[in-house]
Amino acid sequence: MPDRYAGRVATTAAAATTPVPLPLASECCTPLLRQPITASQAADLARMLKALADPVRLQLVSMVAAHEGGEACVCELTGPLGLTQPTISHHLKILVDAGIFTRDKRGVWAYYALVPASLNALAAVLTPPGRFRKSTKPPGRNPSAASQKVGKAAS
């Protein structure tokens, strides 16, 4: 399909040949911000947002992204979160199914890595065109100008 990323997300040997569609930022953000999105686009976006709409999963994304080499073994993720391995694996599976992580089985352990294109696509969808591109500061009042006015008023 031309409006989707058809990269592979290896989850198991059988599933490694099945592409998992991810919305492209250039394809999904224009309709979302300028016109109604299609049911298919809405389903893809909702799937990714639902996967991230959990505090544990947000922590997992942060931990894996910050981990040395950009990937982490499931065995390294259980301790910091204080959850059991099956619970962590459940959350990781949801993130893999949503296209946010890849899973690479090595022996008895599974290693997870972030799919940067998926978060870039989400960021592009949630960022209005022309906003926050040049600066990471949100638009608004200039704090230094406000403090100068307060200083003048106190004089």
**Is 30 inside any structural domain?**
yes
User: Which tens digits make up the pLDDT trace of 140-151?
Assistant: 555 554 445 445
- What is the rounded distance in angstroms from the CA atom of residue 148 to the CA atom of residue 120? 38
When divided into structural domains, the chain yields a total of 1
User: Which tens digits make up the pLDDT trace of 32-89?
Assistant: 666 677 888 888 889 999 999 999 999 999 999 999 988 999 888 988 998 998 999 9
114: domain CATH number is 1.10.10.10
Q: Dig out the tokens for 96 from the structure.
A: 């893999």
**Is 47 inside any structural domain?**
yes
Query: Which helix (H) or strand (E) element contains residue 26?
Result: helix 25-34
Percent of the chain with pLDDT over 90: 35
**Is 137 inside any structural domain?**
no
Q: How much is the pLDDT for 89?
A: 93
**Is 141 inside any structural domain?**
no
What residue numbers bound the domain in which 91 lies? 4-128
Q: Which amino acid is at 73?
A: C
**Is 92 inside any structural domain?**
yes
**How is residue 38 annotated by DSSP?**
P
**Is 46 inside any structural domain?**
yes
**Is 146 inside any structural domain?**
no
Does this model's pTM top 0.85? My answer is no
Q: Which stretches of 53-142 are assigned E, i.e. beta strand? A: 71-73, 101-106, 109-114
**Selection from 74, 79, 75, 81 nearest residue 56 by Cα:** 81
